[in-house]
Amino acid sequence: MYEKHLMICGATGCISSGSRSVEQALVKELENHGIRDRYRLVMGGCPGFCEVGPILVIYPDEVFYCHLTPKDMVELVEKHLVGGEIVERLLYKGPDVAVPVRFYDSIPFYAKQKFNVLHNSGIIDPESIDEYIMRGGYRAFTRALTIDSLTICEEVKESGLRGRGGAGFSTGQKWEFTNKAPGPKKYVVCNADEGDPGAFMDRSILEGDPHAILEGMLICGRAIGSNEGYIYCRAEYPLAIKRLKIAISQALEYGLLGENILGYGFNFKINIKEGAGAFVCGEETALLASIEGKRGIPRPRPPFPAQSGLFGKPTTINNVETLANIPLIVREGGAAEFAQIGTAGSKGTKVFALAGKIRNTGLCEVPMGITFREIIYDVGGGIKGGREFKAVQAGGPSGGCIPTELLDLPIDYDSLNKAGAIMGSGGLVVMDESTCMVDLARYFLSFTQKESCGKCTPCREGTMRMLEILNRITGGFGNPEDLDTLDSLAHSIKDSSLCGLGQTCPNPVLSTIRYFRHEYEEHIEEKYCRAGVCKALFSYKIDQERCTGCRACVKACPVDAITGEKKEPHEIDQGRCTHCGSCIEKCRQDCILITRVGREADVSN
């Protein structure tokens, strides 16, 4: 028996902020004290709060340490583990709490969250099937073995679960179609080709709770009458792939995969296929082609995969998060419980990845129907640096932006669609006044343009032309017809493209035009970028009255464009300035202003 469990976040986010060296330091320190074997040390799943990583949670003490460095381990071991005293210095202390807090339940970031899909993440050892089982794992699957396949489909339908990959189709219905499609051979495919910039929900689930995916696939296999599944996971997720492989071998060893599972005569095999990084392979038909070893390009539907999918056989394709919900739904009474959360049309919880200009970047799981305001201000802790919120991009490159006036919009599939965005897989990129909305649209379009597979004309040629127009506008060469051209081209691409990528990629452009048309007009007509992003469309100017002559900006300027004596107001040489923004970051007086090219300052940063 161990005295304590020490859960270090071993997900990709915390690993990149240094959790591996924290772990090594911890081990070393424990060994120094000769107490290594008293503790169970786990590189666990993601607790979501990436902003404050690396994170260490100590059970059963229920203490949440954050912002850790290897050096902290000396004190932590000595004080907490040896001395039994909490190291207050390493507890969470944000502007949203009065005093340092000790555990999840009192951190505001977690207050409005509801853990369904992530209920094991960060709690169990993702490489231990026993811990998964201890937390109720594989119970839903064993139940599924004893009930009729159509009953399972029916329960999933009753739960109201809709696909978490983006389009939001009823999962139960999808299963039922595949169940009823004729043929002895069927496939379950898990789409783990998460590719939206800034989105890492699926990765965290795969890394933190891989057995949940296997269980979801097993239940799906049982429901549709399939004995083989594929997980299509992008190769850029090596840790997820490693943990899946471990999970598969454990499940095989426990007889939860393979032949005649638990003596019920049900066979199931799971293969992992690593994707080579094409965004379009997240589109289901392109994904299937890629598994088949063909060029990863979409094909027309119908036939839908439920009729003719992988290798021409009926196939159900579900996203990671969708499958992770399944074990919760198929357990006894699970469907009804699931359906109690959420709105009329969107049930359950949704995991979002918070990124951009938000204070609490990270992962959160919230009930459907929560408002953007709650996510951004209560969970996310508001905007970084006290700036003004401008918009939030929901649904990545396929989604749209939600402006301030829609902050109270409840998040569900239908209201998001109405607002011109999509649920997508759950990426939320928050923007403040320093974000140029034209540049944002240009950024997402340059992403989709690069990722266009080239098969259909509107997407291949059209995204290029849209990008060229946006480059023109942000470069200061926009002309008044550009907005109409963009708008009509965007609508035609949406209306006539072959696959979801083409049909949704104009969304960021359309929604920014819809909500921030004035910014486009300013770029085109006044050749002015108020956010100070489009370099050709603004000048920096130093407010002579506020400048204290601290020389911070002079030192920061890489091209020596700023001059001025100490304690005298400085000046910027417009001919030299490259608009890199280094000065504005260093200025302590907020006296560097963004102005129209060749005009007086009128807006401060």
Partner 1 sequence: MSAINLTINELAVEVTPGTTILQAARQLDIDIPTFCYDPELAPNGACRICVVEVENARTLIASCVTPVAPGMVIHTESERVINARKVILSLMVANHPLVCITCEKTGECRLQDYCYRYGVTDSKYSGEVKELSLDDTNTFFVRDMNKCILCGICVGKCQEVVGAGAIDFTRRGFISNVGPAFEDSIEDSTCVFCGLCIDNCPVGALTPKYSLGQGRPWQVKQVRAICPYCGIGCNINLQVKDDQVIGVKPVKESPVNRGHLCVRGKFGWDYLKSSDRLTAPLVKSDGVFVEVSWEEAFGLIVDQIEEVKLRCGDDALFGLCSPKASNEEAYLFQKLIRSLGSNNVDSFTRHCHAPAVNALMEAFGSASMTNSIEELAETGAILVVGANLAESHPVLNYRVREAVRRSGARLIVAHSETIDLVDIAHHYLPLRMGSAVALVNSLANFIIEEGLHDRAFIDKRTEGFEIFRKEVSGYTIKYAAEVTGLAEDELRAAARAYAVAERAAIVSAVDTDRHADSANLVLALANLALLTGNLGREAAGLYLPYGENNLQGIADMGALPGVLTGYQSIKEKNVREKFARAWGVSINVKPGFTVTDIFKHGKKSGIKAMYILGENPVTCSGEHLETAAFLTDLDLLVVQDIYMTETASLADIVLPAAAFAEQEGTYTNTERRVQLSRKAVEPPGEAFPGWAILAELAGWLGFDWNYDGPQDIFAEIASLTHQYAGIDYERLNEQGLQWPCPKGDHPGTKFLHNGRFSRGLGRFSVVDYEPQAADNLSICCSKGHFNCQCLSENLSRHSVINTLRNNNV
Stretch that binds partner 1, among 30-38, 90-98, 210-218, 294-302 (CB under 8 A): 294-302
Nearer to partner 1, 302 or 333 (CB): 302
Does 446 participate in binding partner 1 (rule CB under 8 A)?
Answer: no
Indicate which single residue of 319, 361, 449, 539 sits in contact with partner 1 (rule: CB under 8 A): 449
Q: Does 290 bind partner 1 (CB under 8 A)?
A: no
Q: DSSP characters for 43-93? A: EE---S-GGG-S-EEEETTTEEE-S--TTHHHHIIIIIIIT----GGGBB-
Among residues 218, 255, 248, 253, the alpha carbon closest in space to that of 233 is found at 248
Considering only the stretches 176-184, 320-328, 458-466, 513-521, report the one whose residues sit in contact with partner 1 under the rule CB under 8 A.
Answer: 458-466
Closer CB to partner 1, residue 208 or residue 458?
Answer: 458
Does 305 bind partner 1 (CB under 8 A)? Our answer is: no
Could you tell me which of 580, 578, 605, 583 has the C-alpha nearest to residue 594?
A: 605
- Site for partner 1 (CB under 8 A): which residue of 290, 346, 497, 595? 497
Residue 142 CB burial class (10 angstroms; 0-12, 13-18, ≥19): middle
Binding segment (CB under 8 A) for partner 1, from list 44-52, 63-71, 184-192, 494-502: 494-502
Compute CA distances 209 → 135, 222, 321, whole Å. 11, 21, 11
What separation in angstroms does the CA of 152 have from each of 207, 213, 289, 422, 438? 27, 17, 29, 28, 47
Residues 6+ apart with CB under 8 A from 44: 7, 8, 9, 10, 57, 121, 122, 123, 124, 125, 126, 208
| Three-state DSSP class for residue 300 | coil
Does 292 bind partner 1 (CB under 8 A)? Our answer is no
Q: The tokens of 20 are what?
A: 């591996």
Q: Which is nearer to partner 1, 294 or 518 (CB)?
A: 294
183, HSE (Cβ side, Cα atoms, 13 Å): 20
Taking CB under 8 A as the rule, does residue 300 contact partner 1?
Answer: yes
How many other C-beta atoms are found inside a 10 Å radius of the C-beta of residue 52?
A: 23
From candidates 37, 105, 388, 495, binder to partner 1 by CB under 8 A: 495
Q: Where are the alpha helices (DSSP H) in 262-389?
A: 284-291, 320-330, 334-340, 372-373
Site for partner 1 (CB under 8 A): which residue of 79, 139, 494, 551? 494
Stretch that binds partner 1, among 169-177, 296-304, 393-401, 577-585 (CB under 8 A): 296-304
- Tell the smallest beta-carbon distance from residue 300 to partner 1 (Å): 4
Q: Where are the alpha helices (DSSP H) in 374-505?
A: 413-418, 437-451, 457-474, 481-496, 500-504
Q: What length does the chain have?
A: 605
Distance CA 258, CA 399 (A): 40
| Pairwise CA distance, residues 277 & 565, whole Å | 52
Q: Closest CB to partner 1 among 490 and 594? A: 490
- Using the contact rule CB under 8 A, the part of the chain among 16-24, 269-277, 462-470, 563-571 near partner 1 is 462-470
Which range binds partner 1 by CB under 8 A, 41-49, 96-104, 216-224, 492-500?
492-500
- Among positions 16, 485, 574, 578, the unique one binding partner 1 when judged by CB under 8 A: 485
Nearest to 401 by CA among 375, 428, 383: 428
Binding of residue 451 to partner 1 (CB under 8 A): yes
Give 165 or 462: the residue with its C-beta nearer to partner 1. Answer: 462
Least Å distance, CB 51 to partner 1, is 35
DSSP assignments along 246-290, one per residue: HHHHHHHHTTSSEEEETTTTEEEEEEEEEE-S-GGGGSHHHHHHH
Distance, CA of 345 to CA of 340 (rounded, Å):
12
Q: Return the residue of 276, 454, 479, 574 that touches partner 1, per CB under 8 A.
A: 454
The smaller minimum CB distance to partner 1, of residues 28 and 299, is found at: 299
Which of 83/454 has CB closer to partner 1?
Answer: 454
Structure tokens at 404: 């301030």
Question: How is 391-428 classified by DSSP, letter by letter?
Answer: EEEESGGGSEEEEGGGTT-B-SHHHHHHTT---TT-EE
Q: Does 71 bind partner 1 (CB under 8 A)?
A: no
**Selection from 275, 147, 286 nearest residue 219 by Cα:** 147
Does residue 112 interact with partner 1 by CB under 8 A?
Answer: no
Count of Cβ atoms closer than 10 Å to residue 478 Cβ: 23
The yes or no reply on residue 461 touching partner 1 (CB under 8 A) is yes
Alpha-carbon span 379 to 362, nearest angstrom: 10
Q: Which is nearer to partner 1, 345 or 549 (CB)?
A: 345
User: By C-beta, is 332 or 484 nearer to partner 1?
Assistant: 484
**Close Cβ partners of 583 (under 8 Å, ≥ 6 residues apart):** 540, 553, 556, 557, 562, 572, 592
Q: Which is nearer to partner 1, 213 or 453 (CB)?
A: 453
Q: Which of 51, 44, 81, 78 is nearest to 67 (CA)?
A: 51
Query: Does 574 contact partner 1 by CB under 8 A?
Result: no
Rounded Cα–Cα distance for residues 458 and 440 (Å) = 22
The residue range among 29-37, 317-325, 365-373, 460-468 that interacts with partner 1, by the rule CB under 8 A, is 460-468
3-state DSSP call for residue 190?
strand
The mark string for 367-406 relative to partner 1 (x by CB under 8 A, - otherwise) is ----------------------------------------
Instruction: Indicate whether 464 belongs to the interface with partner 1 (CB under 8 A).
Output: yes
Asked whether position 418 contacts partner 1 by CB under 8 A, the answer is no
Nearest residue (CB) to partner 1, 18 versus 475: 475
Binding residues for partner 1, how many (CB under 8 A)?
34
Among 173, 496, 548, 605, binds partner 1 (CB under 8 A): 496
Cβ proximity to partner 1, 301 vs 546, nearer residue: 301
Residue 302 binds partner 1 (CB under 8 A)? yes
Closest CB to partner 1 among residues 441, 466: 466
Stretch that binds partner 1, among 85-93, 141-149, 260-268, 452-460 (CB under 8 A): 452-460
| Binding residues vs partner 1 (CB under 8 A) | 278, 295, 297, 299-300, 302, 449-458, 460-465, 468, 485, 488-489, 492-498, 503
